[in-house]
Amino acid sequence: MNSIEAVLVALRRVIRATDLHSKHLAKTTGLTAPQILLLQTIRDQGEVTIGEIANEMSLSQATVTTIIDRLEKRGLVYRQRSKTDKRKVHAHLTDEAVETLKSAPIPLQDQFARQYADLQEWEQTMIISSLQRVAEMMNAQHIDASPVLYVGTFDKQANAEEKPIEYPKS
């Protein structure tokens, strides 16, 4: 296998691992990775607004609102107006959400983050540099992305905002 094939195989393995983990999450919890991460954020942050969730997850407020809408329909989240500032609405977990999180598999990015943290600083820098270069080579540097490893789209609006990748003509 030449070096180009080795790079493409490695990229495909990353994409495939993300896809398989997303399917595993869906099968075991009925939730997507962003939904689980949103539930974890609410759990970890306590009383939190949509804007605070969006900032924590590096997502737009519109995307977070859409995810919360879906979770609310499933009875996993409820919203409550702040008692001290009526302009604020806080998201809260239901008991069912707390139980779901207890049995949910570890998100792929958490597993990655632990192993990445064990690397030496020069190795971390090399990985960042290499992946940024790969993104540029794939003309993907302009694509807005959050640090959530998930295959698929968060919602139709987020998908509509993404620009198609334009490949150079040869």
pLDDT digits (tens, 9 = 90+) for 99-150: 999 988 887 878 898 999 999 999 999 999 999 999 999 998 777 666 665 5
pLDDT at position 155: 42
Answer whether residue 32 shows pLDDT above 70: yes
pLDDT at position 110: 81
Helix-strand-coil split of the chain, %, nearest 5: 60, 5, 30
Between 29 and 163, the more confident residue is 29
Q: Per the structure block, which two tokens stand in for 36?
A: 């689980």
Answer whether residue 37 shows pLDDT above 80: yes
Whether this prediction's pTM lies above 0.85 is answered by no
